[in-house]
Amino acid sequence: MEVPRDMICPLSREIMIDPVCTASGHNYEREWIQGWFDTGHSTNPLTGEVLTNTTLTPSIAFRNAIRDFLDSNAVLANEMKGLQKKLRQAQSMVQSNPGTRVVDIRFLDKTTWCIMKKPVRAADGNVYDQAPLEMHFRNCRAAGGQITSPISGAPMGEECEAETALGKEIASFLQNWGEASSPIPEAGLHGSVQDLSKMFSALDDLEDLMVDTLGSWSAPRLVVFGGESVGKSTLLQRLCLLPLFPTHRSRCTRMPMKVTIRRATVQCAPTLVVWDVSKKQPVGEPRSISLTKSEVEIRRQVEDIMLEHCSGQEVSMDFELHIKVTSTSLPPMNFIDLPGIISTSEQLTEQTSKLVIRQITNEGDSDIFLWVVQATVRPANWTASRLISENGLLDRTIGVITRCDRLEMHEVDDLRNWLDPSFAGDDRLQLQPHGFVGIASKVFPQKDNESFHSLMHRQAVAEVQSFNEIGMQDEISEDRASIKALMSKVSSVYAKHVITTWLPGTVNRLLAAWTLCCEELKALGLPRCSGALHGDALAQLMEAADEEATRRLKPLVGLAKQLFLTSSLQPLRAYLEKELETISKSELELVLSKTLLDDSCSDLCLNLPIKEVHEAWLEQAFALLAEDEGSFRLQRFPEFVKKLKSHLESNVPKLAKEAVAQDIKKYLKRVFDPTVSVDMSMVCGKFDECDDAKATIRFKVDRIVGTCLYLLSCKYEALTTEKALNHLVVEKAIAEVFARTWFQEQETCHESRKRVLSRMCNIAKAIRRLVQMRCESLSQSETTDADLGKVLVALWEPSVSSWQEVARQVHGDSPTDNTFVDIACKWLVSSMSSSNADAFEMHGKAGGGELAGVRSLTQKECFARALELDPSRFDSWVFFGNLGGGVISGCAFSTPECYSKALDCKPANEDARVLLQQTQKECFAWALELDKSRSISWVCFGYLGGGVISGRAYSTPECYSMALPHNPANHEAQAILNLVTYAPGSPGLAAAAAAAAQREHVNILMEQAAGTAKLALMIANEDARVLLQQSRAPELDPKRALELDPSRSDSWVSFGNLGGGVINGMPFSQLACYSNALEFRPGNELARLRLVQVAAASPAAAAAAAAAETTRKYYLNHLLQQAGQRR
């Protein structure tokens, strides 16, 4: 298969997966061009021109074109994916188990020690992988120098010759690599940082996400310091498996070296640049170095810098060497090799100590410090110990005792003591919790055609043998001796940093990618059809197809009627009315009447305006089927569309023009025959012998036209009902295309869907593996799916990966239903379902805090996450509103909006209505209007004096009585009912409540009201105020009570006693107040008594009041209307 050239990355020489565009307009694979920029280049790698910026813009349209190409060439795409996976496995085997020759040495590029993809022979006679070799050429050109050999450094040309035969051997090797091959070991004897790579292996099948998540993550630093020539550089080479640190016998490290390892899907040669510390910028262009001679190159570079910038100095204080490495197997990490603290000169001691202190003060919380000392030097001479103590690094420092293989037998016991964490000598510096690790430092020469990995493996084997020879087997088994033991201690610190920093962000990035996949599946069309559905999945597909086809074709029913009306019925009616009118206006000679009538009938039938409508109807039908809108995406089923068209063609509107014309002609002949016609009459006028005998024709036009139109309609056949359309077209097409399980139409986007579903499986597996790592870090040895789900939702960050509705509606790949076949996908969907919203809501009600041992959430964050998962949780909306509202699923909600959302979930939610700032009484009245079985609402409504519910008035005792049948155990209602009924005093409830304020049930009510803020915050009634706030205060406020509830008889009496006044802008005299009290409660004897007393004391006022009775009624009715609106 010929891949279009524009889809091939000019740097990687492979088809692009994540293409991006640079400022020059060229497209590259993101990882390759990002690597070019990361090494310090700011030029176009193809032309060498300086770019205006190094911004990378995703080429979305181009990426979609590449995906479409791969989807349409599924065999090629699957083959590429399979080879890439096998290449990664084989490469991991090469680097994890270098002691065995699982891969022919000829297959490896000598500059990267990776399996070659496209081997070429260069001008220097060596064989290289084409892409890394071309990148080396670009680095040489960018540095302004001539092209040199990656291995020897000698000048050479750029001409290359493809090694076709070797390429076929490598391809054959990878094709045969499979389950029969040796398993990939998790860790080797050499104990390097490669052992940490399994933490990132979860993303091996998600290259773009690995680049994205690791690119923005700050990896921890491994800072190595100690005395002069104690084996620091040798130790670093063994840890990172890279020959980048100079190990010459003379003073090796003369300036700080920083090695940055970036995990990637491709491995290129390392790049080196000199960094000016004071100016914080590179010196010159970066240059690539070969792993076969990197140590020599680095030593030469150091010597050149020392001569140019540090004349006469032993150690450089102003410059650093920065080396960047991309690796397919090593984890992201930063190594810092510092010059040894020199004790032979006071000046050098000060300089080297300053370098160490500078790195320590720039350290982060995740940094790991390796303090390297020699076993042959007494602890009293360990010069770096003071720096560790003074800077508080004891808890993050691992002591490394080198050259243990040089000890005499009598010195081994001292070494054991130092490696024993329980031993405490007089001169020992305690390093807790990590302690010391002993390693051997014997260096072996590298053999011809031996990779550096193999050399390190051989050295690790010899190290174990040397420790066994001096009887330190226990120290090896207890991880206190060997390079592997050291790596175990480093791993614990590194893993903690990874799990607390990189893992949460990566999980959320994966969840966001999953949501994008759901959106992509939705864009492809739902439900899916693989061509092999059955059970519920097939039933749902057929139902969706029926609904979509019916929705699209439904307009055809009305169209058939409309076309028949406009093209046949209306023209025929107008034609007949006009012609009959013309005929009726003319006079006929009786002698010629038969002939004239026959001619008129023939002429009338000759030009009947009857037209077929099937062409216009069919054109519109096909246009409706051609649309590609909606969630179903009809066009992905061309055979289904074809069948629909076929059945539409079979059921087009039909009009038998000839038959219609014959029927109308036959009918009109009877009409124009006076002997039989009932719709035509002839009227003869007066005539004499001299005049011709004439007559006029009179038609019953409406009857004639109606009959002709009826005859026309009888010959018209069309799909004039939705039932007929569905039965004759849609159902038949579905039965022919989908119903047969042995033959179902497969959607045209099947390969695209498989690609998306495959990515979703990889994402789900990656998320599950990362969550398992998090559980393991919490010392959870056995975890269920439910446990993993709780940790997942605790890691979830809504602001990063909003869990949209589509994530819960997506269809999986099961042939029987819409779930997923993959276990990890099932777990993910289940974990992110609304069931976990309960945990968040309960955690929020408990005040928040640490959730599932993963992270601490505030109370507001708990309710926000609960609503992200399940927006129908009314309690969470109320609490979220109480806390000020915020953003849910990307939408901001204010406090009132939160309460309104709560009411959408549960209209009878009194708490939300209170917080929406309705009055107390209005809230509980509304709740009882919706649900009269709410016992607590009846109690609260009784607190507030009762009132009207559904047109009926309820007094306070009646409210409490209503509360009891719905909740017989409601002691509050029973206690207050007894209080109202039996407590002495007047005016009723207020005095009774005041008299019984010390009773236990009243105190409990007051405490509950204060604690829940249900009543005490917005008291609207004097009785409730007495019960809950002012049980010891004798004064009441009748005016405030009447403003809220004008139907309160006792309050009118109290207001009259105070002389009356204005309520809501309306004046009421004393007499009017007492009259109002009697109107609402005719048995109010106190009101009647006061009315008589005032009237007797002032007859004039009584007469005035009687004259103003109409005005009083008007004011009172107006008050009641206002109260009803509020209620």
- Confidence category of residue 1014, pLDDT binned at 50, 70, 90: very low
Report the alpha-carbon distance of residue 676 to residue 1061 in Å, rounded: 93
User: Tell me, what's the pLDDT at 857?
Assistant: 83
Report the alpha-carbon distance of residue 928 to residue 934 in Å, rounded: 7
CB atoms within 10 A of CB 1118: 14
- Confidence category of residue 1012, pLDDT binned at 50, 70, 90: very low
Query: Under a CB-based contact definition with an 8 Å cutoff, are residues 522 and 504 in contact?
Result: no
C-alpha dist (Å) from residue 103 to 190, 268, 791, 870, 1049: 19, 19, 41, 53, 100
Q: Which residue has the higher pLDDT, 45 or 215?
A: 45
pLDDT exceeds 80 at position 643:
yes
* SS3 sequence of 322-360: EEEEEECCCCCEEEEECCCECCCCHHHHHHHHHHHHHHH
CB atoms within 10 A of CB 385: 20
952-976: per-residue pLDDT in tens?
A: 888 888 888 888 887 776 766 766 6
698-741: per-residue pLDDT in tens?
A: 888 999 999 999 999 998 999 888 999 999 999 999 999 988 76
916-930: per-residue pLDDT in tens?
A: 556 667 777 877 877
Between strands 281-288 and 271-276, the pairing is: antiparallel
User: Residue type for 814, please?
Assistant: S
846-884: per-residue pLDDT in tens?
A: 788 877 667 778 888 888 888 887 888 888 888 888 888
Query: Under a CB-based contact definition with an 8 Å cutoff, are residues 717 and 657 in contact?
Result: no
1021-1070: per-residue pLDDT in tens?
A: 334 333 333 332 334 478 878 887 788 888 898 888 888 888 887 888 88
User: Residue type for 259, please?
Assistant: V
User: Residue type for 959, please?
Assistant: C
Query: Under a CB-based contact definition with an 8 Å cutoff, are residues 224 and 338 in contact?
Result: yes
* Strand ranges (E), 1000-1105: 1061-1063, 1066-1068
The separation between CA 604 and the C-alpha centre of its own chain, rounded to angstroms, equals 73
Query: Under a CB-based contact definition with an 8 Å cutoff, are residues 567 and 681 in contact?
Result: no
pLDDT exceeds 60 at position 989:
no
User: In this structure, what are the phi and psi dihedrals at residue 1007, rounded to the nearest 5 degrees?
Assistant: -65, -45
What percent of the chain is predicted at pLDDT more than 90?
9
User: Tell me, what's the pLDDT at 21?
Assistant: 92
User: Residue type for 467, please?
Assistant: F
Report the alpha-carbon distance of residue 396 to residue 492 in Å, rounded: 11
Query: Under a CB-based contact definition with an 8 Å cutoff, are residues 85 and 205 in contact?
Result: yes
Hey, what are 629's tokens? Answer: 């809108």
Estimate the crossing angle of helix 536-553 against helix 638-650, to 10 degrees.
Answer: 50
User: Tell me, what's the pLDDT at 801?
Assistant: 59
474-498: per-residue pLDDT in tens?
A: 888 888 898 888 888 888 888 888 8
pLDDT exceeds 50 at position 1115:
yes
CA atoms within 13 A on the CB side of 648: 27
User: Tell me, what's the pLDDT at 877?
Assistant: 87
153-163: per-residue pLDDT in tens?
A: 788 998 999 99
User: Residue type for 828, please?
Assistant: L
H or E, element range at 401: strand 397-402
User: Tell me, what's the pLDDT at 190?
Assistant: 54
What percent of the chain is predicted at pLDDT more than 70?
82
C-alpha dist (Å) from residue 820 to 29, 522, 764, 825: 32, 16, 11, 6
pLDDT exceeds 80 at position 1004:
no
- The three-class DSSP label of residue 655 is strand
754-790: per-residue pLDDT in tens?
A: 888 888 888 888 888 888 888 877 766 667 888 888 8
- Confidence category of residue 1107, pLDDT binned at 50, 70, 90: confident
818-846: per-residue pLDDT in tens?
A: 788 888 888 888 887 755 677 788 888 87
Query: Under a CB-based contact definition with an 8 Å cutoff, are residues 487 and 191 in contact?
Result: yes
Query: Under a CB-based contact definition with an 8 Å cutoff, are residues 826 and 785 in contact?
Result: no
CB atoms within 10 A of CB 137: 18
240-272: per-residue pLDDT in tens?
A: 878 877 766 554 567 888 888 877 766 777 888
Per residue in 1013-1030, is it b (16+ CB within 10 Å) or e — as a string? Answer: ebbbeebbbbbbbbbbeb
User: Tell me, what's the pLDDT at 165?
Assistant: 92
Say how many Å lie between the first and final Cα of the chain, rounded. 76
Question: For all residues of the chain together, what is the average pLDDT?
Answer: 79
Estimate the crossing angle of helix 452-469 against helix 483-497, to 10 degrees.
Answer: 120
Hey, what are 730's tokens? Answer: 């849609």
- Confidence category of residue 548, pLDDT binned at 50, 70, 90: very high
Exposed, middle or buried, 819 (CB in 10 Å: 0-12/13-18/19+)? Answer: middle
Report the alpha-carbon distance of residue 940 to residue 532 in Å, rounded: 61
H or E, element range at 271: strand 271-276
Residue 433: cis peptide before it, omega within 30 degrees of 0: yes
316-348: per-residue pLDDT in tens?
A: 888 888 888 887 777 788 888 888 877 667 777
49-69: per-residue pLDDT in tens?
A: 888 888 888 888 888 888 888
Q: Across residues 986-1009, what is the average pLDDT?
A: 39
User: Tell me, what's the pLDDT at 549?
Assistant: 92
405-448: per-residue pLDDT in tens?
A: 888 888 888 888 888 877 765 555 677 788 889 998 887 887 87
77-119: per-residue pLDDT in tens?
A: 778 877 777 777 777 776 655 555 677 878 888 777 788 889 9
- The three-class DSSP label of residue 527 is coil
pLDDT exceeds 80 at position 284:
no
Report the alpha-carbon distance of residue 718 to residue 92 in Å, rounded: 70
Per residue in 182-192, is it b (16+ CB within 10 Å) or e — as a string? Answer: eebeebbbbbb
Report the alpha-carbon distance of residue 551 to residue 441 in Å, rounded: 79
C-alpha dist (Å) from residue 104 to 93, 115, 291, 457: 12, 9, 19, 17
User: Tell me, what's the pLDDT at 195?
Assistant: 65
168-192: per-residue pLDDT in tens?
A: 888 888 888 764 444 444 444 455 6
Residue by residue, DSSP assigns 804-872 as -THHHH---S-SSSSS-SSHHHHHHHHHTSGGGHHHHHHHHHTT-EEETTTEEE-HHHHHHHHHHH-TT
User: In this structure, what are the phi and psi dihedrals at residue 286, rounded to the nearest 5 degrees?
Assistant: -65, 155
In 3D, which of 329, 328, 351 has the Cα closest to residue 340? 351
